[in-house]
Amino acid sequence: MNLMLPDSGLLFWMTIIFVIVFLILAKFGFPVITGMVEKRTRRIDEALSAARKAEDAIAHLSQEQERIIAETKAQQAAILQEAAAERERIIASAQNQAREEAGRIVEEARQRINEEKEAALKDARKELALISLAVADKVLRKELSDDKAQKELVDRLVDEVV
């Protein structure tokens, strides 16, 4: 018996067994294996499709996020401009009020100064009149101390009146 060359009977039975095993595998094994391979291929395709959809969704969300950020920045700029305008309006209003109040205070001060000036002038005139009367009284008493001077003054005043 040659170990390198099998016997023809052995070769025949091996071929028959191979064909039977192959037919059993072809009938029952290969369809299950190909079905599993096809099922796995479908799952991989579905996963790839889902990944593409997810990638598209992420790209869309990224664009949406950029749009929202741009809108937010625009709103922020508008709010800041509005706040700056309001600040300027408030400052201008406060300045106008301060000017009006300062003008009113200055006018009141001028009036008060004029009133006090008039009062001081009245007092000064009154004091001057009193001093003048006192001086005139003293001068008249001195000049009219004798009877002759009194008669001359009365005559002169009567002549001036007439």
Averaged pLDDT, groups of 10, the chain, 162 residues long:
74 94 92 93 96 95 95 95 95 94 94 94 90 80 72 78 73
Q: Which tokens belong to 99? A: 């000017």
Q: Is 14 within 8 Å of 6 (Cβ atoms)?
A: yes
Question: pTM for the complete prediction?
Answer: 0.43
pLDDT of residue 2: 65
Report CA-CA distances (Å) from 118 to 97, 114, 129.
Answer: 31, 6, 16
pLDDT at 147: 75
Q: Which residue is associated with the tokens 């005043």?
A: 157
Looking at residue 3, what is its pLDDT? Answer: 66
Let me know if 144 is exposed, middle or buried by CB neighbors in 10 A (0-12, 13-18, 19+). Answer: middle
Give the contacts of 143 (CB within 8 A, at least 6 positions apart).
149, 153
- The pLDDT value recorded for residue 83 is 95
Token pair for 89: 């309006």
